[in-house]
Structure 1
Amino acid sequence: MTNENKMGYLPIKKLILQMSLPPMCSMFLQYSYNLVDSMFVANINENALAAVSLSFPITTLMISLSIWIGVGINVLIAGYLGEKEQDLADCATTLGLLVALIVGICINILALLIMKPYFSAFTNNPAIFDYAMQYMSVCAFMQVPNMVHIAIQKVFQGTGNMITPMWFQIAGVIFNFVFDPLLIFGIGPFPKMGIRGAALATVLGYALSMVIAFLLLVFTKQKVRIKIKGFHVDSHMLKNLFSYGFPSFVMNALGSFMLTFTNLFLTAYSDTVVAFFGAYFKVQQMIFMTVNGLIQGCLPVMRFNYSAKQPERLKEAFHFGTQAATVMMIGGTCLLLFLPKQILFLFAASESMIKIGVPAMRILSIGLVFCGFSIMIATYQQAIEKIRSSMLIHILRQGILLVPLMWLFNHMFGINGIWISFPVTEILVFIVAVLLQTVIPKPQ
């Protein structure tokens, strides 16, 4: 038994808890970069907070691309190990890291090219534009270390090792948390860099995580290794890497596009509304990404047992994961529903932001519970290779349904209509997800 992968024999509830708790911490820490940046930047002024809020769709999209490659590696490795194909698992590790490096460089360059026209489209306030350019011109360089360290994180998680990734995530976040105020405000021997300091602390934090992750992969004993001798790029494996990770990319990237479209509506009201929604979205993402950590624990378990032809364990993993996601989303709903003012105080909120934000957060919180069900169903569909069904759920949530409803309700109810569109969308997507789960044949 000791030579068998634990995903094939450990009790499912114990296994998912072991597999999920570390990535839940990791994802919480991953998205704390932007939250911490915003908290410190808000103490510069509201324009600086609005600038970071306008930057968030770009950084979210960058992280989403990293998760795309990472989850593709994760699913490949878990599947190959389930089939007892060690050599293929090693090849997938090497291919994934190579792809992560190349794509990371390309995205870094692209971010630098698009930021000026992007920010010009969203603000006529020269102070906000200047802050956004300062922040993003440095933050764009986070992409290579971010992409590589997330790829290595998913390599570990694909083998069932969920503890190691948590430590190099913690190292980067602690670095960012400590150096944010030092570099922003010029404390002690450090230069006063303002909003550029927040971006630099973020980049260096990711770089630290990448270096530690690479050293652990290369110099410690793991269930997969980087394969140099005999390695070649397998086109089928490459296609599967992009295919398996694509639903996770869609789930995360649509958050970026949704935020972009929402900002287009909100800029018609005021810069304060934009700053508020940026602050809210960072808190919401902390909740969502913690649940995403649960999903990261459930996905390799479901994928392994699907590949190993153990349908009962697959079904049990889905049911337990759904229950856990629902409980977590209820907790997030309560947080936003009962403590909105206290949350906004973390961002040095003005009286006008408090007046706008408190009722808005209470409306926005309503849809979170339904979202937990929908995301877990999409994850199950991804695990059993029903990629289109998984993608459909994600696209409906933050694209096909949300944007038209936002436009309609904005015209009907004004700014409150924008907030109402979010829970209405989550309820409709929940209904669609349940129908998909009912009609699609289950694995035998």
Structure 2
Amino acid sequence: MKRAFQFCILFRGGFMNHKNKMETRQMFPLIVSMAVPPLISMFMQYTYNFVDCMFVSWIGEKELTAVSLAFPITTLMIAMSIWIGVGVNVLIADNLGQKNQDRADSVVTNGILLSAAMGIIVTGAVLVITKPFFSSFTDDPEIYNLAVRYMRICAFLEVSSMVHICIQKILQGTGNMIAPMWFQIAGVVLNFILDPILIFGYFGFPKMGIEGAAVSTVCGYTLSMILAFMVLILRKQKVRLKIKGFHVDFQIIKEIFVIGFPSFIMNALGAFMIYFTNIFLVVYSTTAVAFFGAYFKLQQVVIMTLNGLVQGCIPIMSYNYGAKNMPRLRQAFKYGTIIGIVLTGISIVLFWTFPEQILKIFNASDEMMTFGVPALKIMCTSYVFAAAGTMTASFMQSTRRVGFSLIINILRQLILLLPLMWILSQVIGMEGIWWSFLAAETITVFISIYLYRRYPVKFSDNPV
């Protein structure tokens, strides 16, 4: 009887050790199953701004310019959310790969508390900087007032954004990709429904204009947060909130910050890039600023879809790094890169084929069409290079080479881009700004390949 009991324990242990799909399932279908839900989720994440921009453009070009000027702040806010979320995601996947359930549960509770605290801090900071930020861009009092009114409401989306993205990444770190997709979709659908109702005053609601777009966005994020909590608490998951014996673990918090930092940089640099690009473009016209705001919404749909693929691959790579399974680690990186290049290649074909129709979504004027169509074609060509560079940075991040991941992200959106933007704009004018994006991404890819080959993976028992 004793031997039979021992056999059952061993059998159960063996089954539990091997049931995680991230170490057993064939790689291509695994990546598809892991990546499609967060791909859709990330697509939906940036659909908020796309939808706001689309409806606001129907009010007028000044309103579109105001939302475009606000986009660096909202991008930075989302970058903060992704920072904590990705750090939690990687730590959970790593600890599950090492079969350390108790620590994985501790990461859940510490991560949610950290995200809520950071959300409150960021909200306060945004309210403080709103006026001086917009005054640095425009002397037009109407655009300034529109931007301030919009941002003062959007500031309150950060707590719900931080918490729901954290829970999203918690579930993704366990291999559960479906639930995060649905609570993200629910928020976007609510935003899409409320936008025209509150902006234009349908069904007896007051006509709120640009402020209606902001209220709709906050409501959408809040709904996603509520649903995320319900899924985590009420549905059985592979990790849970650790209440009994819980204490704030500053080592876990440090690891969350360190591991998620490259993802923050990747997204935050987008905010700084928009800021500096607007400085270059405002010299030419406010229409150029409005165009770039519209273009960046389009670009973010593509890049965040790519990031959704990356967020599906990161748990697989992190899990197999924790399990010290080199073949599957490299296989995940290879398949993820190929899929990313194919996805971005499709987007390039669409942008080259239908540039006028795409810009008309934003009610583009004749002036905007004149320089916008060639600009769209030039900049979108960089997407395939962005796919390869982003996947390499994520591979470095998943294998704890955070410094290399930071280098790749900083190169493509700051160190290379801004000098190229200045040089090329001096040589060929505004068109040089568009060409700088393609040049920066291309150079970064070659540097990424060098780093990948020059510095191979080394397994370590130290998670950071």
Query: Which TM class, normalised by the smaller chain length?
Result: over 0.9
Q: 1:299 deviation in Å?
A: 0.5
Instruction: Determine which of 328, 332, 343 is the counterpart of 1:328.
Output: 343
Amino acid at match of 2:110: L
- The Cα of 1:2 is off from its aligned counterpart by 5.4
Equivalent residue in structure 2 for 1:338, among 330, 338, 353: 353
Q: Identify which of 159, 164, 169 aligns with 2:184.
A: 169
Greater C-alpha radius of gyration: 2
Amino acid at match of 1:21: V
Note the aligned Cα RMSD (angstroms): 0.9
Selected match of 1:373 from 379, 388, 393: 388
Query: Which of 99, 102, 110 is equivalent to 1:84?
Result: 99
Match of 1:399 in 2: 414
Structure 2 partner of 1:26: 41
Task: Tell me the CA shift for residue 377 of structure 1.
Answer: 0.7
Contact 1:340 1:361 in 2 (8 A): yes
One-letter amino acid matched to 2:34: M
1:347-405 CA-to-partner distances (Å, cap 9, x unmatched) read: 11111111121011111112111111111111111111111001100000001110111
Which residue of the partner structure matches residue 74 of structure 1?
Answer: 89
> Normalised by the size of structure 1, how large is the TM-score?
0.99
Cα distance in structure 1, aligned partners of 2:213 and 2:65: 14
- Give distance in 2, aligned partners of 1:134 and 1:346: 24
Q: Does 1:142 align with 2:157?
A: yes
Deviates more, 1:220-229 or 1:178-187: 220-229
Q: Which amino acid aligns with 1:313?
A: R
The residue number in structure 1 matching 2:136 is 121
Deviation at 1:442, TM superposition (A): 3.1
Instruction: Provide the C-alpha distance between the structure 1 equivalents of 2:313 and 2:76, rounded to a whole number of angstroms.
Output: 23
Preserved contact between residue 311 and residue 443 of structure 1 (Cα < 8 Å): no
Counterpart residue identity of residue 194, structure 1: G
Q: Distance in 1 between matches of 2:15 and 2:189?
A: 36
Query: How far apart are the structure 1 equivalents of 2:303 and 2:34?
Result: 18
Question: Which region of structure 1 is more displaced relative to structure 2, 86-95 or 232-241?
Answer: 232-241
- Contact map agreement 1:149 1:209 (CA 8 A) in 2: yes
Q: Which amino acid aligns with 2:70?
A: S
The one-letter amino acid paired with 1:228 is I
SS of aligned partner of 1:276: helix
Q: Which residue of 1 aligns with 2:24?
A: 9
> Which residue is 1:291 aligned to?
306
**Identity rate, percent:** 53
Show the counterpart of 2:320: 305
Distance 1:234 1:80, change over 3 A: same
Which residue in 1 is equivalent to 2:124?
109
Gap regions ≥5 residues in structure 1: none
| 1:237-278 per-position Cα deviation (integer Å, ceiling 9, x unaligned) | 111111110111111111111000000101111110000000
Distance 1:33 1:371 in 2: 23
Q: Output one character per residue of 1:207-244: Cα deviation in whole Å (capped at 9) or x when no partner.
A: 00000100111111111111111111222211111111
Q: CA deviation at 1:443?
A: 4.2
Residue type of the alignment partner of 1:66 = S
CA shift in 2, pair 1:2/1:13, >3 Å: farther
For the pair 1:188 / 2:209, whether they are aligned, the reply is no
Within 1, Cα distance between the matches of 2:249 and 2:298?
40
- 1-structure distance, mates of 2:315, 2:277: 33
For residue 58 of structure 2, what is the aligned residue in structure 1? 43
Q: Which residue of 2 aligns with 1:319?
A: 334
Other structure's SS at 1:253 match: helix
Corresponding residue for residue 451 of structure 2: 436
> C-alpha separation between the residues in 2 aligned to 1:167 and 1:95?
24
Task: Single out whichever of 406-415 and 1-10 deviates more from structure 2.
Answer: 1-10
Tell me the equivalent position of 2:216.
201
Equivalent position of 1:54 in the other structure: 69
If the length of structure 2 is used for normalisation, what is the TM-score? 0.95
Pick the aligned partner of 1:243 from 252, 258, 266. Answer: 258
Matched, 1:278 2:293: yes
| Structure 1 position 99 matched with structure 2 position 114 | yes
Name the CA distance, whole Å, in 1 between partners of 2:426 and 2:171: 48
Q: Residues of 1 paired with 2:207 and 2:382: CA distance?
A: 41
Q: Secondary structure at the match of 1:122?
A: coil
**How many corresponding residue pairs?**
444
- Give the SS at the match of 1:69: helix
Quick one: distance in 2 between partners of 1:212 and 1:371? Answer: 33
Shift of 1:201: 0.3
Deviations 1:20-50 (A, max 9, x none): 0000000000000000000000011000000
Q: Give the Cα separation in 1 of the matches to 2:172 and 2:231.
A: 13
What amino acid maps onto 1:178 in structure 2? Answer: I
Q: Secondary structure at the match of 2:136?
A: helix
Give secondary structure in 1 for the equivalent of 2:381.
helix
* Residue 335 of structure 1, CA deviation: 2.0
